[in-house]
Amino acid sequence: MEEPGPAAAPPEGRDERSLEALSLASGGGAAAAGRQLPEGRRATLASALELEGTVLREGRLTQFVANNLERRIRLSGAPRGEPPAGGGGSSIPAIDPGALQDVVALAGQVAAQVDELLRNVHCGLQALTALSVGCIQTYRDGVESLGEAADLSIRAMYALVARCEELDRAMQPVPALAKRIRDMKGTLERLEGLCK
């Protein structure tokens, strides 16, 4: 905290004096009159602050760390006129039954929404699983039919090759027969020449 300024709410059990009240009580009202504080006045103010916590000085900057800061913060949030519950330690505030009912109602709504979300996710996963199974079965059927078609094609090709070989064997006497036909044709041509 920069030097000097008004302090936070005082702790319970002390008189309600701010830093300004402390400075006025110890220095005679110089700050209230708007005059610059002398060094002695600053030391008096720091001495008053040291009663409430730790004071650190770095040049013209004065830092103040209050004792029991957590308790002071807790007390500053309590309504005025209400004593803090429990004297010294950390106190648990009273639980509002209406807030608990609201929390229970909201928890029920969240649970219902989570159940509906899980049902939707389950239905979506079932649909995706059925679609995936259908795709896999279609792919399997296509592969099987392709294998059968390829097998039939290979068998038909082997049968064609076998028939071609049989035809080739059956055509082997044709060249000799063609030679004989040519010889007979030549002989007929010579006979025709003699008959003329």
**Residue 68 region by backbone torsions, left for phi larger than 0, else alpha for psi between -120 and 50, else beta:** left
pLDDT digits (tens, 9 = 90+) for 64-104: 777 877 777 777 766 665 555 544 445 667 777 888 888 99
Tell me which residue of 97, 105, 2, 94 sits closest to 45, measured CA to CA. 2
The answer to whether 27 and 37 are in contact (CB under 8 A) is yes
Distance CA 66, CA 14 (A): 14
Cβ count within 10 A of residue 62: 18
Look at residue 83 in the predicted model and tell me its pLDDT.
55
- Range 38-62 average pLDDT: 70
Residue type, 165: E
* 55 DSSP β-pair partners: 64
Between 38 and 175, where is the model more confident?
Answer: 175
Cβ count within 10 A of residue 172: 8
Look at residue 79 in the predicted model and tell me its pLDDT.
60
pLDDT band at 1; cut points 50, 70, 90: very low
Between 113 and 91, where is the model more confident?
Answer: 113
pTM for the model: 0.35
What is the number of alpha carbons within 13 Å of residue 20 lying toward its C-beta?
8
Distance CA 23, CA 4 (A): 9
The answer to whether 36 and 3 are in contact (CB under 8 A) is no
- Range 108-114 average pLDDT: 95
Residue type, 19: L
Helices 39-50 & 19-27 angle (0-180, nearest 10) = 130
Contacts of 42 (CB under 8 A, 6+ apart): 3, 4, 62
Tokens matching residue 115: 């159940």
Tokens matching residue 63: 């830092």
